[in-house]
């Protein structure tokens, strides 16, 4: 499975929404199924805030790319 697909599956199916940045990052054992470099980038890129779903998280990250 690609890194992108793993990350998206995690956001869509394993994060309990609504949540905040800390909740997204902590879900599923700290995103242990995502490579360390990708986890670090995501943690640095995702802004603080409240997220109602995976779409909100992806929009927030994409605005920082």
pLDDT tens digits for range 22-65: 999 898 677 777 788 888 888 999 999 999 999 999 999 999 88
Range of the structural domain that residue 57 is part of:
3-62
Whole-prediction pTM: 0.84
Q: Is 11 exposed, middle or buried (0-12, 13-18, 19+ CB in 10 A)?
A: buried
Q: With a cut of 50, say whether residue 1 has pLDDT above it.
A: no
Contact between residue 30 and residue 39 where contact means Cβ atoms under 8 Å apart: yes
Q: With a cut of 70, say whether residue 5 has pLDDT above it.
A: yes
- Half-sphere exposure of residue 38: CA atoms within 13 angstroms, side-chain side: 14
pLDDT tens digits for range 6-22: 888 889 998 999 999 99
Per-residue confidence (pLDDT) for residue 2, from 0 to 100:
66
Q: How many domains does the chain have?
A: 1
Q: Which residues make Cβ contacts (< 8 Å) with residue 43, sequence separation at least 6?
A: 25
């Amino acid at each position: 499975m690609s890194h992108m697909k793993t990350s998206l599956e995690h956001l869509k199916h394993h994060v309990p929404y609504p949540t905040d940045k800390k909740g997204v990052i902590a879900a599923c054992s700290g995103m242990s199924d995502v490579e360390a470099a990708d986890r670090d980038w995501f943690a640095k890129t995702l802004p603080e805030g409240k997220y109602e779903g995976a779409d909100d998280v992806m929009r927030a990250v994409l605005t920082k790319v």
